[in-house]
Chains A and B, each alone.
Chain A
Amino acid sequence: MHLSETVNTGFYSLAPLLVFAPVVGLLINAIFGQKFSEKVVGTVASLASGTAFVVSVLLAYSVAINHGHAVSVPFAEWIHIGNLELDWTFRVDSLSATMMLVVSGVGTLIHIYAIGYMHEDVRFKHEEGRFARFFVFLNLFIAAMMVLVSGDSYLMLFVGWEGVGLCSFLLIGFWFEMDTLARPSWANSNAAKKAFITNRVGDFGFLMAGFLTFWNFGSFQFDKVFEAAPAIAHNSPGIIVAITLFMLVGVAGKSAQIPLYIWLPDAMAGPTPVSALIHAATMVTAGVYLITRSAPLYTLVPQAQYIVAMVGAATALFAATIAVGQYDIKKVLAYSTISQLGFMVAAVGMGAYVAGMFHLITHAFFKALLFLSAGSVILGMERGHHAHAHHAAHDDHGKGKKKKEEHGHDDHEEVFDPGDMRNMGGLRKTMPVTFWLYMAGTLALAGIVPFAGFWSKDEILLDAKLHYTSVYWQLAIAAFFTAFYMGRQIWMVFFGEARTEVAKHAQESPKVMTVPLMVLAALAVLGGGLNLPFEGFHNLTHWLGYTLGEVEALPLNLGVAGVSTLLALLAIFISWWIYGRNPLKAGQPDPLKKPLGFIFTGMENKWFVDEGYGVLILTPFKKISQFLADVIDWRFWHDFVHDTVIAGTYNWLSEIVLSRYADQKGIDTFFNSWGSFTQWLSGNVRKIQNGFVRSYALSVLLGVVLILGYLILK
């Protein structure tokens, strides 16, 4: 769009480092990781990610000093066939720079945190050799995500899109070989497969959108597509609608929207830093980025925008209700993530791209903070479990033994689950740092003034109010539930008395984990400053306006802000009324269970969506595949067609026709007759040679007489 002559300064040539710094890091760790100590592995990986962050900062600075001009940095030729030219080009503009900053910034903090987290996690799981592998995958993810956000065409975006999908698969199934009483090994690998396959459905949509784009625009490049879009929308708007809706399918897969969100809760099987980085802060927001990037397409088709907004709003509300009924600390956050992604998708669907991106950024801060704090809580519980088991019996070597000790001690739990909130309680005293960090994240997520989440969520709500009232109400109720389930979590985890011995012995996490959390907490508290709804503070709006086109920045609407704040405070109060006033006792069912009855059972069981998919899709699918395998393939194709028809015909042909008739009767007879004729002939001819010299002489005479007679009588 804006070519290089307008750009005199800047660090644009560094753009490839975004991808190659993490690649170098992962190569070092992949090759030497087993020889390095854990500190070195972690440092290399963090430095690689940190380099990407520094480059992102420099690129953002370059964009800023060049007044937001989008710059394409050609890097490599990829596919050149005839007129078709598909290159790997980096696109640096305010939107991609924002994503780069979020990905590499949050990513680097999570890398540092993971050094501490994985150090202990691999030991609790008795898998010390897995440390380096984790950081290889993590760096690979950063590289793939950078390809995604920095590509200047839908094709490169798709390459990164698939790359992060692969990393997601690898990291969800990171403990695929772990076989414990609490989680059989297939549970982890199944979660990974579920994520991958669900995303495949979404990717089908993205692929269709890509094919349609190329078919109609003749290019994958953003600039060319957006330039030609208005003309095509004028002539045949159906094409743009189809492209945007297929894109929405892709977004639903990657960003966990209805109906494809089901993989994200299961993705919590991965290590917690993965949940924070991939399944909360960055990868799942790729869908939001995709819609924002395609804003010029979506703006042309209000019908598609409306559908996107409705999908987002429905997801936000639906997932928020499920989060209320969950007991696993990470599952609550997972559904919360789905819900918040619903907010973002709804926002970009309404055309409020800045609000969506704003929420994406603040959400990356506070949800990464929440997940990492939850990881800290889980590890604290693991440590407590360790210490307690050690205390109870001075022999805790070997997982199985430990389990038995635990079983003997706490009768109410078969297998100890460090992530179950019912096992926690009172952690405020044993893990004070984590508690305060968690509080910061919770208040930001719940949308309490002046934490980051308040400003971004409020911007979305305000936009919804102006555009679609139904979306506004869904989101407002979702926000109410958000505050409620976060309150419930806080009361259950940190307040009251410890419900298990393990929780009593829980220990605080080391500094390598808490310091990155403090940085994230600071961002979660202050992140709202990026785009305050006051005159002169609409920084993000102007910044993204360089790319998305200048939009009118909305001032603070006291009505909307007041309603949402009141709802949040009310929800927190109710959660205190239910969970805080009378803390949950050990073994006591959730106090909401009785008054809400089947509604709570629905929330507890995720509204039976997985079961519904099982009945609607998986069971028929399995039946069909079984039928295909058993009847069609085995009985019909294998037994009948192959064995009976083909092999039978072949046998009949070779045995009867060719062997018996053609060979034995035909060819054999011919050659045998020829042989016996020769025998008969020679038997007769040999009689001439009788050994009597006189008979030879007679023959000679006869011959002479014949020849002479012929000559004479001629």
Chain B
Amino acid sequence: MVPVDYYVVLSAVLFSIGTLGVLSRRNPLIIFMSIELMLNAANLAFVAFASVYETFSGQIFVFFVIAVAAAEVAVGLALIVEIFKTKKNINVDEMNSLKG
């Protein structure tokens, strides 16, 4: 059996890759993908600890996260489509009209 440390490290690596993606990319689609990566890194950690402690609550939580992620992607993609319609561009750095 694979020790839980491996899962946790993998999860951390995935999370870090996702974070870097969110911070460094300008394309919102890529950013979304990176966010999914971070969510899934979290899911992995949930599942791993759920199997270690032999409880279901972690696995149930993962379901919720997947559902919320799906809903979030749906809203996000709709926003991106609308932004594109108005700006003909989806570069996140161009979306700075709330600047102080």
Contacts and interface: CB of A to CB of B under 8 A. Distances in A.
Interface of A: 686-694, 697-698, 701
B99 A689 contact: yes
B66 interface: no
Contact of A698 (B23, B26, B98): B23
A692 B99 CA distance: 8
Contacts of A692: 92-93, 96
A701 B18 CA distance: 12
A691 B23 contact: no
Contacts of A690: 96, 99-100
Interface residues of B, number: 13
7 contacts: A689-B98, A689-B100, A690-B96, A690-B99, A691-B99, A693-B92, A697-B23
Contact of B23 (A686, A688, A689, A694): A694
A691 B99 CA distance: 4
Given A701-B19, A701-B23, A694 B100 contact: no
Interface in B9-26: 19, 22-24, 26
Contact of B95 (A686, A693, A698): A693
Contacts of B95: 691, 693
B76 to A, nearest CB: 12
A697 B22 contact: yes
Nearest to A689: B100
A686 B92 contact: no
B97 interface: yes
A688 B22 CA distance: 19
Contacts of B92: 692-694
Contacts of B23: 694, 697-698, 701
Contacts of A687: 100
Indicate the member of B24, B95, B96 with the most A CB atoms within 10 Å: B96
B18 to A, nearest CB: 11
A64 B89 CA distance: 134
Contacts of A698: 23
B97 A691 contact: yes
A693 B69 CA distance: 19
Contact of A691 (B19, B22, B96): B96
A687 B99 CA distance: 9
B42 to A, nearest CB: 13
Indicate the member of B19, B98, B100 with the most A CB atoms within 10 Å: B100
Given A689-B99, A690-B99, A690-B100, 18 more contacts: A687-B100, A688-B100, A689-B98, A690-B96, A691-B97, A691-B98, A691-B99, A691-B100, A692-B93, A692-B96, A693-B95, A694-B22, A694-B24, A694-B26, A697-B22, A697-B23, A698-B23, A701-B23
A338 B44 CA distance: 136
Contacts of B96: 690-692
A694 B22 CA distance: 7
Nearest to A704: B19
B93 to A, nearest CB: 6
Contacts of A689: 98-100
A683 to B, nearest CB: 10
A33 B93 CA distance: 105
B62 to A, nearest CB: 21
Contacts of B97: 691
Contacts of A697: 22-23
A548 B19 CA distance: 131
Contacts of B93: 692, 694
A643 B96 CA distance: 68
A634 to B, nearest CB: 69
Contacts of B24: 694
Contacts of B99: 689-691
Interface in B23-56: 23-24, 26
A699 to B, nearest CB: 11
Nearest to A686: B100
Nearest to B19: A701
Indicate the member of A692, A693, A701 with the most B CB atoms within 10 Å: A693
A690 B96 CA distance: 7
Interface in B44-92: 92
B9 to A, nearest CB: 16
A639 to B, nearest CB: 64
Contacts of A688: 100
A692 B22 CA distance: 12
A690 B97 CA distance: 9
Nearest to A688: B100
Contacts of B100: 686-691
A455 to B, nearest CB: 122
Nearest to B96: A691
B28 to A, nearest CB: 9
B29 to A, nearest CB: 14
A680 to B, nearest CB: 15
A690 to B, nearest CB: 6
A703 to B, nearest CB: 13
B79 to A, nearest CB: 12
A697 B95 CA distance: 14
A686 B98 CA distance: 11
Indicate the member of A687, A692, A701 with the most B CB atoms within 10 Å: A692
A697 B99 CA distance: 14
A195 to B, nearest CB: 93
Indicate the member of A686, A688, A694, A697 with the most B CB atoms within 10 Å: A694
Which 7 interchain pairs have the tightest Cβ spacing? A691-B96, A691-B99, A689-B100, A686-B100, A693-B92, A694-B23, A697-B22
A689 B99 CA distance: 6
A277 to B, nearest CB: 102
A688 B97 CA distance: 14
A693 B95 CA distance: 8
A698 B19 CA distance: 9
Contacts of B22: 694, 697
Nearest to B22: A697
Contacts of A694: 22-24, 26, 92-93
A344 B26 CA distance: 131
Nearest to B93: A692
Contacts of B26: 694
A687 B100 CA distance: 7
Indicate the member of B26, B95, B99 with the most A CB atoms within 10 Å: B99
Contacts of A691: 95-100
